[in-house]
Structure 1
Amino acid sequence: MKRNIIILIVCIASFSGFTQPSTNSYGSNPEAGNYADVNGIKVYYEIYGSGLPLLILHGNGGSIRSQSPNIDYFKASYKVIAPDLRAHGKTEDPGDSLTYNDMTKDINDLLDKLGIDSCFVLGQSDGGIIGLKLAMDYPKKVKKVAVYGANIQPDSTAIQNALIEWGYNIIETTKDMHQKRLYTLMKYQPRIEASKLRTIKAPVLLMSGDRDAIKLQHTIEIFKNIENSNLFIMPGATHFGGYEKADLFHNVVNDFFTKPFSKISTLDYFK
């Protein structure tokens, strides 16, 4: 077990956003990319495909490029909007406070700039947190939201202890001020109360790996507090299950997006 935790830590240390090797130009494609002035900063984004809009949000330390497998898959059926989050990739870092509230407002304002009234949302890790906050703070913007490896608290009730200790050590020892800002964000945020989750009306698909950095019970608690939600625990998967088992991940998410949401119960079969 200890060996598995060490391996996971090394993976996250290598790159929090988890970038898959790729020959595409996602994240640096002048034909698909542009900047938008929103919420006091310049946000970089790229658009691919056509159809119903799908917003794809990367995790902490990631970028558009880290979402390459998801863009590849979903651009065939959707109009994919993939931004670099505040202080990530090519999007500006104003150097002041970095909060999930600001990042969520950035994305809402970007959608306004693009004339998108509502969309599907797919978010991984921090992108999942922002996806949930979009559904809470700007409910009209979200048709459905699928999140993988999201947390609503930054402490040991949500995150594996070994990873918390490792993150604290990074903050104390790194000389990279940008890296320190990103890890400090995760140290103190998010702090979302269960009562706020209960205000979400859009259908939500909550996903996690059975060997995730986010504790399984925490994901289940989020699921229990969102009325219109389904839960998917990916077997044999870590915090990066969307990449480790991409085919399964894409099939589950696409099924959720394309089919009408329903809340079924085993008891329905006995009526």
Structure 2
Amino acid sequence: MGQYVEAGGVLTYFEVEGEGEPVILLHGGGVGGDSWVAQTAALSQHYLVVVPERRGHGRTPDVDGPVTMELLAADLAAFMDRLEIPQAHVIGWSDGGKVGAWLALSRPDLVRKLVLIGAELTRAGQTPATEQLMTPEGLEELAEAFRPEYEAVAPDGPGHFPVVFAKWAEMWRTMPDLDLADLARLTMPVLVMQGDDDAVRLEHSVEVAKALPDAQLAVVPGTSHGLPLEKPGLVNQLLLDFLAPEQTPKLIPGGALDC
């Protein structure tokens, strides 16, 4: 059952399922929390799963002004404070992963474990196909892909889509790179995951994992940027293994991320 809460000036729609340690699922850009349906079903058997929808996404109304990753991370921190969630496992997909990374850097106290799925943290981490999406033609394709889901549920009405999409496009075009050296400050365990045919360069995910003090790296075979939908069983098992309090002992470590 969905509900709303006002936090940080945003009337945020969210859904909650399960019980136990909180896990927050952060959806990608242009879509809503429904994209996590397969993960919510699996994770809620072990955790309290919270799925918020960001400003101007899904059932959460838009807010006047531009959108930035810094602002979205602040929104999330305010949402957690409002729900009295002192710390959570944070799992972000695509733009949601970037929000999770910004949150972890700005409010590390809120993040127990972090998962970044298909999330490039620098512009150089994009594949050529992803760069093509930022051209006028590519943005037009994205708009047509995102429009039906937005118009079906948006409280601001279908006519508001051009306004929110323009904000997203501006954020995507101007988003500053994260300095990967800053990732050394993140002491929580981090899982970096992507598909082997994702919108993120494989080399970039390796660079991110190497920059983190406590990282795991997963490349899901036979998947694209939609890996949580394409192979939900495998993705869910990787998430559950990572979130577990005890990790499987490594029998023959070879220092691959130290190279």
Category of TM-score, reference length = shorter chain: 0.7 to 0.9
1-structure distance, mates of 2:84, 2:130: 40
Q: Is the 2:133–2:139 Cα contact (8 Å) retained in structure 1?
A: no
Listed as ranges, the matches of 1:152-171 within 5 Å are: 152-153=121-122, 155=123, 157-170=124-137
Offset at 1:180? Answer: 2.4
Offset from partner CA, 1:198-242 (integer Å, 9 cap, x none): 111110000011111111111111111111111011111111111
Contact 1:228 1:263 in 2 (8 A): no
Quote the residue 1:107 is aligned against: 76
The residue matched to 1:44 in structure 2 has which SS? Answer: strand
**2:139–2:169 Cα contact (<8 Å) kept:** no
Residues 55 and 62, structure 2, Cα contact 8 Å, conserved in 1: yes
**TM-score using structure 2 length:** 0.84
Structure 2 residue matching 1:176: 3-state secondary structure = helix
- For CA contacts below 8 A with separation 6 or more, give which structure has more relative contact order: 2
Deviation (angstroms), 1:95: 3.0
Distance 1:210-1:267 versus aligned 2 partners, 3 A rule:
closer
Conserved? CA contact 2:129–2:199, under 8 Å? no
- Give distance in 1, aligned partners of 2:33 and 2:240: 20
* 1:50 CA drift (Å): 0.9
Displacement of 1:195 after TM fit? Answer: 2.2
The answer to whether 1:144 aligns with 2:113 is: yes
> Which amino acid is the alignment partner of residue 32 of structure 2?
S
The residue number in structure 1 matching 2:95 is 126
Identity %: 27
Aligned-pair Cα RMSD in Å? 2.1
TM-score (norm 1): 0.81
Deviations 1:123-163 (A, max 9, x none): 1111111112222111111111112101112x3x2112233
Q: Is the 8 A contact 2:25 2:91 kept in 1?
A: yes
User: Structure 2 matches for 1:1-271, cutoff 5 A?
Assistant: 32-153=1-122, 155=123, 157-170=124-137, 176-260=162-246, 266-267=253-254
State how many pairs are aligned.
235
Deviations 1:9-44 (A, max 9, x none): xxxxxxxxxxxxxxxxxxxxxxx2222222222111
Structure 2 counterpart of 1:258, which letter? Answer: A
Question: How many angstroms does 1:94 deviate by?
Answer: 1.3
Q: Which amino acid aligns with 2:14?
A: Y
Residue identity in the other structure for 2:224: T
Is residue 170–residue 180 contact of structure 1 (8 Å, CA) maintained in 2?
A: no
- Structure 1 segments unaligned to the other structure (5+ residues): 1-31
SS in 2 for 1:46: strand
Offset of 1:118 from its aligned partner? 0.7
Decide whether aligned partners of structure 1 residues 135 and 242 sit closer, same or farther in structure 2, where only a CA change above 3 A counts: same
Counterpart residue identity of residue 81, structure 1: V
